[in-house]
Copies of this chain bind each other. A is one copy, B any other.
Amino acid sequence: MTETAVTDSTTGSADEIVSPPGPHGYSHDKEAHLKRLRRIEGQIRGLQRMVEQDVYCIDILTQVSASTKGLQSFALQLLEEHLRHCVAAAAAGGGPEIDEKVAEATAAIARLLRT
């Protein structure tokens, strides 16, 4: 989690001053993302209630699968926006930055695959 990445001059853009500033590709879908994450948070709290109430193991596992699926859908949407905006911007820029951006995105995909 590099805090510096947030202010990366190549992905942010100074002329988007109006609120919300949103320097990244996913910004215009922010509300949809937050809504999705709040639903997942609710599912995790639901899991805690299930454990507290001694619900049958298999039913808890089903709920875990649903939460994991929710997280992966969120990740895929974020990744699509990242490729469309950040990676495409680096490619359009024409510089050597595209290799770095693609390697970074691929590493993120590998982490998602291996969890």
Contact = CB atoms under 8 A, between A and B. Distances in A.
Interface of A: 1-2, 5-6, 8, 11, 20-27, 30, 33-34, 37-38, 40-41, 44-45, 47-48, 51-65, 67-69, 71-72, 74-76, 78-84, 86-92, 94, 98-99, 102-106, 108-115
* Number of chain copies forming the complex: 4
A31 B66 CA distance: 23
A76 B8 contact: no
A76 B109 CA distance: 8
Given A58-B5, A105-B58, A88 B91 contact: yes
A75 to B, nearest CB: 5
16 contacts: A5-B56, A5-B59, A20-B54, A30-B51, A41-B44, A57-B79, A58-B105, A61-B82, A65-B111, A68-B68, A72-B115, A80-B103, A84-B98, A88-B98, A91-B91, A92-B92
